[in-house]
Chains A and B, each alone.
Chain A
Amino acid sequence: MLFFSFFKTLVDHEITVELKNEVCIRGTLKSVDQYLNIKLDNAEAVDEMRWPHLCSTRDMFIRGSVVRYVHLPSAAVDTALLEDATRREAEAAKNKAK
């Protein structure tokens, strides 16, 4: 749930989603769910010459499993908090495994 929790804080920020088929889409994150499916508003392909078929699409729903990378706005990330969240997650997983 860490990534879900993390991406929820990025709602309304501009992110760039890189898909496994190399398509790169920049847009405003509108929502994300447990499967890290992503909904983008004002989406546009980073290289519209390469993927002209995406020109007409402004709102996108991206299935979480096809995402390779998400480029984040670093200012919107609290790394210390993220570290702690990671520790908690790890501890919870360890406790569950017991």
Chain B
Amino acid sequence: MNAKANKNQSSCIEPSYYQAVTQAIRTQAVQVLKDGTVAGVVGYLPGRRKGTARPALITTPEEAEKLIFSPACVNNLSVYLTKSKKGVLKQGRIGIVAKGCDMRALAGLMGESQIKREDLFIIAVDCAGVYGSRAERSESVTEANIARKCHECTVHHPEGADFVAGAATELSGLTPLEAEEMARIEALPQAERWAFWKEHFSRCIRCMACRQVCPFCYCEQCLCDKNRPQAVENSPRPAGNTAWHIVRAMHLAGRCGGCAECERVCPMDIPLNLLNRRMAKELKELYDYEAGLAPAEKGPLNQYKEDDDQSFIK
């Protein structure tokens, strides 16, 4: 009991840390806006309710004084820079506040020629973790309310940014929930795996929030919206849902940086990040590729080696 209490205490980030990060972001944002380095900054403003935050585009130094960073800053802001959102700014360099996982999305988008590094001023955050989607939002992040993805975060300390707010900090001793869940599903017999996903996919209401929020779903016309010929049934029925989620995972394979926004926004609580993680794991094993660590011209499925594994081919 005592040991548990101690552990919880050690894995808790003080609110003062977030205040320091907030201050650093504000100072930097004000500076780059004043000296004209950027035309705007995509960051977080406090939400209307206590303990929330909302994404915002800041264009004046006065507004930049209101920027915050807190564990409620869950959004991956890189989605606002993609084609699907038609770009937040028509011209000029743009600043963006990015956590480690968001940096991976930015790197991926750069690799896919969606954004240019020189058009960005990345204000990275040495992020200790953000709130889970249904967690109680207390003053600080603890093991109880941290997001699932943060349990296994490997990018606490972002690299390659123009400015890093905050200094090395991370929660220790978190259980790798997603890895455990993935191992559990992999160990199930095939029929039970199907039953597991069938139950989840059947609940899907096809709101497409997972697609809207994904930085990599920037296609102007999604394959799954086409109806001549129709590739994936688009009404919310189990058959179409299953196809949609399989196609989605396939299209993100080798690209997904693991920000888990799809899972966060899912109103039906479908564990979408499990699929993404499974694909990431497979591509790491097969081709030793990890998405989003640095801008790469070609992803693992856009390149090949003559001696790739073909043991599954007769």
- Asked whether A and B interact, the reply is no
B: residues with CB less than 8 A from A are none
A: residues with CB less than 8 A from B are none
